[in-house]
Amino acid sequence: KRDISLDMGASKFINLTTETLQEKFDVIIDTTGSTELISSMFSLLSENGRFILAAQPIPGKELVIPNAQKLFTGRGHRIIATQGGQSCPTTDIPLYIKHLENGLVNIDKLITHRFKLEQINSAISTLRSGTAGRIMIDIV
């Protein structure tokens, strides 16, 4: 998903299983849900950083925040859990349409695969492969 993320505007994409970092970041978005990985990434957060948890950890797993006192420096550290996106359709859908119309989101780059409903097993396999952006299922 590196190419998709960078193409959609991410300034950096990091695979911590193959890369080691020392630099600091203003925004870190975790899409793994791995509590061990999340814990290791707190040291990469800048003084004003935001840590966005986009994937839910395995139920019952504990998340350790090393040096948690750094969250209380008054500099604006924030940890945000997406809670399923906290969607409000009456507000969000018009905003998404505006972003599409203004060219801020390229849906053709975001949606990488389309499947018919009877191909659902192939769609799930593609999703699990890690090579897909968003997958659309045609249910008609």
In angstroms, the CA 5 to CA 110 distance is 9
In angstroms, the CA 86 to CA 115 distance is 27
Q: pLDDT tens, 82-99?
A: 766 667 888 888 998 998
Q: Which of residues 120 and 104 earns the better pLDDT score?
A: 120
Q: Tally Cβ neighbours within 10 Å of residue 81.
A: 13
Q: pLDDT tens, 62-73?
A: 999 888 877 777
Query: What's the first-to-final CA gap in the chain, in angstroms?
Result: 28
Instruction: Record the pTM.
Output: 0.61
